[in-house]
């Protein structure tokens, strides 16, 4: 079993925490490297080189697929937003993707780093603001997270064990053009809780990024998310009962349970979020866009609230109107 080979059985709590792998709600995941890579130590230089190579390859692939589906040419893109928190690149990923795709030289670039799991929602909001600032502009939003490259062989902490059971790699692309019959993006907002910097994030270690992941996140969601969401809606003269549904980042099985409780939904209501978690794991910022993609084909007309939680500790909200 990979989990038993990846952690020092005598120095870690892997024996006690093995049920985490069975209870994570994850059946399949995708890693950018072969399994054997994760059984050896790796340093910053190797991780960074792999991150840049793999991330750009994935982003170019999803960008081309997105533009083909939209019948849009690379030369038609006016702006590009890239979201990622699982590696560093300077020049940033958007510049590297522009070069590979041969985009126009005057494309507006906005790289976003450090938003973690909230990046899918907050990045979408920033892309929507760019599109709204100059109507008619086409904004390409690209998200990639290579969570597996942050796995550190020799890190026997509880957080690393839980992360190893939960996180996977993925990428997504979305085109905003202010036309067509897709969902209309409405108001957006954020809330950052005080004294919450240690809930989620990275620790910079000698050989890579060490995961910071509080076990209290489901409790925080149950206790704190609903009033914050209600405040966000109230500022727009809306209430929870005015919503047709929710498009939420499935941080984990317990987090989905907490989301259903927080929003007063019946247990099992967030079926598609659970399905995405089961099929891909938690891909950080990418995951909520996978949930959106799966919901869209059969979605009912109405108003939806997208939400995700990330380092800060921050909640990102984005309203969508489906005709």
Domain at 2-176, CATH class? alpha beta
Rounded CA-CA distance 33/49 in Å is: 13
Question: Any idea which fold 184-322 has?
Answer: Peroxisomal Thiolase; Chain A, domain 1 (3.40.47)
Cα–Cα–Cα angle for 284, 128, 73, nearest 5°? 90
Catalytic residues: 117
Least reliable range by pLDDT among 13-27, 178-192, 293-307: 13-27
Q: Give the pLDDT band of residue 6 (cuts 50, 70, 90).
A: low
Helix (H) or strand (E) holding 322: strand 314-322
Q: Is the peptide bond before 284 cis (omega within 30 degrees of 0)?
A: no
Q: What is the DSSP string of 164-204?
A: HHHB-EEEEEEEE-S-SSSPEEEEEEEEE-TT-TTSEEEEE
Give me the pLDDT at residue 78, please.
96
Give me the pLDDT at residue 8, please.
53
Q: Is the dihedral of CA 265, 270, 271, 272 positive or negative?
A: positive
Q: What is the mean pLDDT of residues 64-72?
A: 95
Average pLDDT, the chain: 91
* Cβ count within 10 A of residue 293: 13
Contact 294, 275 (CB under 8 A): yes
- Rounded to 10 deg, the angle between the 271-280 and 253-262 helix axes is 170
Q: What is the mean pLDDT of residues 22-39?
A: 90
Position with higher pLDDT, 50 vs 179: 50
- For 18-22, the CB contacts below 8 A with 24+ separation are 20/161, 20/162, 20/165, 21/165
Rounded CA-CA distance 207/196 in Å is: 26
Q: What is the mean pLDDT of residues 174-190?
A: 86
Contact 209, 311 (CB under 8 A): no
**Would you give the DSSP letter of residue 92?**
-
Q: Give the pLDDT band of residue 214 (cuts 50, 70, 90).
A: confident
Reduce the DSSP state of residue 124 to 3 states and report it. Answer: helix
Least reliable range by pLDDT among 165-179, 183-197, 242-256: 165-179
CATH fold match for the domains 2-176 and 184-322: yes
Contact 68, 205 (CB under 8 A): no
How many helices and strands, by DSSP H and E, does the chain display?
12, 10
Contact 162, 12 (CB under 8 A): no
Give me the pLDDT at residue 182, please.
77
Rounded CA-CA distance 244/294 in Å is: 16
Residue 4 predicted with pLDDT over 60: no
Q: What's the helix, strand, coil split of the chain in %, to 5?
A: 45, 20, 35
Give me the pLDDT at residue 13, please.
59
Q: Give the pLDDT band of residue 5 (cuts 50, 70, 90).
A: low
The residue with tokens 């069975």 is 22
Q: What is the mean pLDDT of residues 189-196?
A: 96
Q: Give the pLDDT band of residue 25 (cuts 50, 70, 90).
A: confident
Position with higher pLDDT, 2 vs 192: 192
105: which residues sit within 8 A by CB, 6+ positions away? none
Give me the pLDDT at residue 3, please.
53
Give me the pLDDT at residue 216, please.
87
Residue 279 φ/ψ region, left for φ over 0, alpha for ψ in the -120 to 50 degree band, beta for the rest: alpha
| Domain definitions of the chain by residue range | 2-176, 184-322
Give me the pLDDT at residue 7, please.
58
Residue 1 predicted with pLDDT over 60: no
């Amino acid at each position: 079993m990979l989990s038993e080979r990846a952690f020092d059985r005598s120095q870690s709590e892997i024996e006690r925490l093995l049920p985490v792998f069975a209870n994570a709600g994850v059946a399949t995941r995708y890693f950018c490297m072969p399994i054997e890579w994760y059984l050896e130590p790796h340093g910053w230089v190797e991780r960074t080189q792999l991150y840049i190579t793999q991330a750009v390859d994935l982003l170019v692939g999803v960008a081309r697929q997105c533009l083909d589906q939209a019948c849009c040419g690379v030369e038609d893109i006016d702006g590009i937003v890239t979201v990622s928190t699982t590696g560093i690149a300077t020049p940033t990923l958007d510049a590297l993707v522009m070069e590979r795709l041969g985009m126009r030289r005057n494309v507006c670039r906005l790289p976003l780093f450090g938003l973690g799991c909230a990046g899918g929602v907050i990045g979408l909001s920033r892309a929507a603001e760019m599109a709204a600032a100059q109507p008619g502009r086409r904004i390409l939003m690209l998200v990639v997270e290579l969570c597996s490259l942050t796995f550190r062989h020799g890190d026997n902490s509880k957080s690393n064990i839980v992360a190893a059971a939960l996180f996977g790699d993925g990428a997504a692309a979305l085109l905003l053009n202010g036309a067509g019959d897709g969902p209309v993006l409405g108001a957006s907002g954020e809330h950052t809780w005080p004294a919450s910097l240690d809930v989620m994030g990275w620790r910079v270690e000698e050989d890579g990024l060490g995961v910071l992941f509080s076990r209290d996140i489901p409790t925080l969601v149950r206790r704190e998310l609903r009033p914050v969401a209600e405040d966000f809606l109230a500022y727009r003269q809306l209430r929870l009962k005015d919503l047709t549904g929710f498009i939420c980042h499935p941080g984990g099985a317990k987090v989905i349970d907490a989301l259903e409780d927080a929003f007063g939904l019946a247990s099992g209501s967030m079926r598609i979020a659970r399905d995405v978690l089961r099929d891909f794991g938690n891909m950080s910022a990418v995951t909520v866009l996978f949930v959106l993609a799966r919901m869209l084909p059969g979605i009912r007309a109405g108003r939806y609230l997208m939400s995700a939680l990330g380092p800060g500790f921050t909640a990102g909200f984005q309203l969508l109107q489906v005709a």
